[in-house]
A = this chain, B = another copy of it.
């Protein structure tokens, strides 16, 4: 790789002039400007970004630590983030981590000058870090600044309102405690019931960290008395799991029981599409990148992103 010295030598000018031509480019005699550009072309010279980084004290690299369990959702995040980051001449440095220790380790390795900022995505464990230049996305620590959360209360309320409008008044709720948003979900759930003048039945709610299949089993065992006809679950993976379990119990979906996912639904061929709340990864990525570009990062605060109600198109089931 040729350096600025090679170019300046070939063009017969100084390094400073070369630099001027390539950035700014004003206040340079046309003759030497042309000479520089010709030399650049000939040597296929491109400035070394590392040397530039050393000077500017910023690399344009954004670390992204994925602590997401749901690997499907991860891809959505990455796709949207990469798109927006590269549009702003930034680079995405990818890391996976499954627990706090791994997150901290990754953070250590990324914040030695390599990354300007770091995003932590989908951590379902507490990591009370005071680190600067770290943005938490869909993580447990909601009280922290610099974080983006999903509006789980709104999601649950919207979901219930939809289900109720569909004539489903007995809505079961299975949301494991690990999601870190059970209280918000329950809030939205209750709010929807209140607004529709429906009674709250404690027996329809499962928010322990016990397995969802056990919870569903309990529900099904008491199905004659409970008589539930809708089921709210945390995400699309959970949804597919319970659908399989329901069908094994001769319950048809959505006729007998309408399953609703509070975070995205699978759009794969051969997979039952269900109503769901979906979050715009694009909007989220745009928001994050605009944050990153603002210099006054101390005023980031927190941001709550609302999802959209997505209803499966009947016609698409040929």
Binding site for B on A (CB under 8 A): 1, 46-51, 53-54, 59, 61, 64, 71-72, 74-75, 78-79, 82-83, 86, 89, 91-96, 106, 108-110, 112-114, 237, 240-241, 243-244, 248, 266, 268-272, 318
What B residues does A244 contact at CB under 8 A?
269-270
Which of B46, B112, B240 is A48 in contact with, Cβ under 8 Å? B112
| Identical copies of this chain, number | 2
Which of B50, B64, B269 is A53 in contact with, Cβ under 8 Å? B50
Which of B47, B72, B114, B241 is A91 in contact with, Cβ under 8 Å? B114
Q: Kindly report which residue of chain B lies nearest to residue A83, judged by CB atoms.
A: B96
Decide: A114 and B50 in contact? CB cutoff 8 A.
yes
Decide: B237 and A269 in contact? CB cutoff 8 A.
yes
Which of B75, B113, B237 is A50 in contact with, Cβ under 8 Å? B113
Q: Kindly report which residue of chain B lies nearest to residue A91, judged by CB atoms.
A: B93
Cα A268 to Cα B268 in complex, Å, equals 11
Q: Which 10 A-B pairs have the closest CB atoms?
A: A48-B113, A240-B270, A240-B269, A241-B269, A50-B113, A92-B94, A49-B112, A94-B94, A244-B270, A75-B75
Q: Kindly report which residue of chain B lies nearest to residue A247, judged by CB atoms.
A: B270
What B residues does A59 contact at CB under 8 A?
50
What B residues does A82 contact at CB under 8 A?
94-96
Nearest chain B CB to A77 CB, angstrom units: 11
Cα A53 to Cα B48 in complex, Å, equals 11
Decide: B71 and A75 in contact? CB cutoff 8 A.
yes
What B residues does A51 contact at CB under 8 A?
54, 113
Which of B54, B89, B248 is A54 in contact with, Cβ under 8 Å? B54
Report which residue of A47, A50, A51, A74 has the largest number of chain B beta carbons within 10 angstroms of its beta carbon. Answer: A50
Cα A82 to Cα B109 in complex, Å, equals 14
